[in-house]
């Protein structure tokens, strides 16, 4: 996914380490987009995420249309495969919907950089243009 120059460039930026860059390299097939898969049907995968302060959800790849809803307030940092780093403050009920065309995907991690437990529910739609990644 990344050549050596890209790896070195990422690892030299704040919020990136050589270990994170290496983890990113193998994340393209990681379909575990939450902490716990609590339900799966023909049409949906429903995930819960609960992270203590300082905890991190490893790099994973989204290929299916999905939405997430914050079920607790908090702050998290995400690193994206394109090198972007974003910190967001979450409020209870905050929701985002994501859609992916055939062949599209997004790889990122999620780190609780706040001082409270951070919780989300994520629902993936398996009827999306892309097949689910294996778990």
**Residue among 10, 23, 30, 17 at smallest CA distance from 82:** 10
Model-wide pTM > 0.85: yes
**Residue among 44, 51, 55, 62 at smallest CA distance from 98:** 62
pLDDT-derived band of residue 20, with 50, 70 and 90 as boundaries? confident
pLDDT one-digit tens code per residue, 87-99: 999 999 999 999 9
> 13: which 2 tokens?
């930026």
Residue 22 vs residue 122, higher pLDDT: 122
CATH assignment, 4-125: 2.60.120.10
> 103: which 2 tokens?
């062949």
What's the number of CA atoms in the CB half-sphere (13 Å) around residue 64? 23
Domain boundaries, the chain: 4-125
């Amino acid at each position: 996914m990344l050549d050596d120059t890209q790896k070195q460039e990422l690892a030299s930026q704040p919020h990136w380490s050589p270990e994170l860059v290496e983890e990113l390299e193998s994340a393209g097939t990681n379909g575990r987009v939450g902490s716990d898969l609590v339900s799966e049907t023909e049409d949906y995968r429903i995930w819960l995420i609960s992270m203590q302060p300082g905890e991190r959800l490893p790099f994973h790849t989204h290929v299916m249309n999905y939405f997430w809803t914050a079920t607790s307030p908090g702050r998290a940092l995400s690193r994206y495969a394109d090198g972007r780093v974003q910190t967001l403050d979450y409020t209870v009920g905050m929701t985002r919907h994501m859609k992916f065309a055939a062949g599209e995907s997004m790889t990122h991690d999620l780190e609780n950089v706040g001082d409270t437990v951070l919780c989300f529910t994520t629902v993936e739609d398996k009827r999306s243009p892309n097949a689910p990644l294996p778990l």
